[in-house]
Structure 1
């Protein structure tokens, strides 16, 4: 099979397309013919050897995919050959075939294509679990979303608006802000054109209920200052590649909560509820991921570069079927 291979840690351009043996599903695993795979920022960090978990080279990058079951390993139940599925993992998705634990797969709803199914996973799950179980957003809440043009940010815009929040989208270009507006943002801010602290003071003079931050860097502190007393600041990643330093006096004075998001922190009951809600939103077409770029497998390095440089609008997808 053809696959993208990271032979040595480095920039996206170190990834090359090569021929590898087809993976054999082991006990509890399923083999999937990949139709499409989505690019996430941690893929870039993993290839660079700068992620919080290190993967020895050589390896096949890619953490999110959708496709069709082509093989069932021993002692594996719940799926049959021909089932359409989507899944996530640490690596392996940028290939024509992948073998993964069956427990990590979900069925793709009827009528949903592989590109959409692949792009809907990580970003929308992160955003929805954050909004429902960490922020606990209520209709009418003012929610500030940083990095609102990226994968997680744009998903947060969509889902917060769907939940009835008033969404203030912050991004770095008119293209990204146009996408945020199309996906439900009520107010948009280009932080390159005006100091974010001043823009947020005008947008939410009484203070925001929550900030969703997948970016970090210099935007975090002015966004934290925009919170009302008792508001929530949730950090879900550092796409800027800069971990911010937050003055704790702001947390004390404003009485706000600063919290990091991890899937493992969500209670089992709420996790299942959130997942059911997401599946229904996808199956009924109420929420669709915004796909801002599609590349063939041969151009996977270019897809990774678009995400690495912060130029992606919504999700970038590698169409392996091409």
Structure 2
């Protein structure tokens, strides 16, 4: 089979495209004929070694995939051969990635693709939407009556956060570039503010006079000195980006108001947590409310170029999706 892989950790020039053996199903696994693979920032972290995890070389890159089941390991009864499924947790913890014509996946990390959903759409939203679910519900424990602020509301994760929080009944405030405001409103934001406004903090105080309950900064800037003052009592800040950013705050600004600073990476999510997130994502896909802003489809052989563009910041607002046979 054709695959994009690396033989050692490194830059995009380490990515090779060539022939590797078709993997065989182990116990509790399914073999998928790949239909679509997303390119995520976390893929570049794993490939470069910035995010350390167990890897066996040659290592097929990537994480998120939509495919059709063509074989099953022992004791696997569902999904059935011929079923179309998706998975968003390959390519780490000893699992090979899916940027290939065929890939194996543990059956407990495979989820049914709703009928009629475009594979490119599903794979484009899988990682951002599952991340959003984990941030809002698994870690922040969002309640319907609360106020949520999403910094970077026009991004892939930011849009999914906005959709989910608004559909849960929360009041959603977002910041974004001026030309992204209409997109944020269409995702469900009640208030959209210019992220570069010098008085952004004052605008947020006016929009949320009782304080913000859940704050998620997808941009990775994390100005805790300012944002902590915007939180309500028992407010929570979720940290899931800005890997090299140093966080500083007064301890009293946290504990005297019962506030929390929560860090998480989707890579650490349990199979049960991912399955719960997948159920939510699948429902929203079925309802047609989860949608990528723009998809660009590329052949598997363009994996190296896709990684380069992502690292260079040349894919803003666009989900890069690799398709076999293109």
For 1:307, the equivalent position in structure 2 comes to: 310
Structure 2 counterpart SS, 1:76: coil
Q: Paired residue for 1:224, among 209, 228, 240?
A: 228
The alpha carbon displacement at 1:85 in A equals 0.7
Rounded Cα–Cα distance in structure 2 between residues aligned with 1:15 and 1:175: 35
Partner in structure 2 of residue 260 of structure 1: 263
Measured after TM superposition, the shift of residue 306 of structure 1 is: 3.9
Alignment root-mean-square deviation, CA: 2.9
Range with greater deviation from structure 2 (109-118 or 310-319): 310-319
Gaps of 5+ in 2: 92-96
Aligned positions, number: 319
TM score, norm. by length of structure 1: 0.86
Distance 1:133 1:28 in 2: 26
- Is 2:130–2:274's contact at 8 Å kept on the other side of the alignment? no
Q: Of residues 251, 255, 265 in structure 1, which corresponds to 2:254?
A: 251
Equivalent of residue 188 in structure 2, options 179, 184, 187 = 184
Confirm or deny that 1:114 pairs with 2:122: no
Answer yes or no: is the 8 Å Cα contact 2:109–2:274 preserved in 1.
no
Residue 74 (structure 1) shift: 3.0
Tell me which residue corresponds to 1:298. Answer: 301
Q: Is the 8 A contact 1:216 1:244 kept in 2?
A: no
- Say if 1:273 and 1:36 are closer, same or farther in 2 by CA, change over 3 A: closer
1:125-174 Cα offsets, whole Å, 9 max, x none, are 22123323433333453211123233222210111111122222234x34
* Per-residue deviation, 1:119: 2.3
Classify 1:37/1:221 alpha carbon distance in 2 versus 1 (closer, same or farther; 3 Å): farther
1:97 aligns with 2:102: yes
Work out whether residues 119 and 291 of structure 1, in 8 Å CA contact, stay in contact via their aligned partners in 2. no
What's the TM-score, normalizing by structure 2?
0.85
Task: Give the structure 1 partner of residue 162 of structure 2.
Answer: 157
CA distances 1:238-297 after superposition (whole Å, capped 9, x unpaired): 2464242343232134331222346777896x8766544432222232433444443332
**Would you say the 8 A contact 2:147–2:208 is kept in 1?**
yes
CA contact (8 A) 1:87 1:106 kept: yes
Q: Distance in 2 between matches of 1:317 and 1:179?
A: 21
The match for 2:141 is 136
Q: Report if aligned partners of 1:154, 1:314 keep a CA contact under 8 Å in 2.
A: no
Give the 5 Å matches for 1:1-322: 1-91=1-91, 92-171=97-176, 173-194=177-198, 196-235=200-239, 237-239=240-242, 241-261=244-264, 275-310=278-313, 311-313=315-317, 315-322=319-326
Structure 1 unmatched ranges of 5 or more: none
Distance 2:200 2:300 in 1: 38
1:39-95 CA-to-partner distances (Å, cap 9, x unmatched) read 222111111101042535431111110011122223322123211010123411211
Secondary structure of the structure 2 residue equivalent to 1:99: strand
- Which residue does 2:94 correspond to in 1? none
Q: Structure 1 182/304 Cα, relative in aligned 2: closer, same or farther at 3 Å?
A: farther
Query: 2: distance between equivalents of 1:309 and 1:47?
Result: 15
SS at structure 1 position matched to 2:60: coil
Q: Give the 3 Å change call, closer, same or farther, for CA 63–176 of structure 1 in structure 2.
A: farther
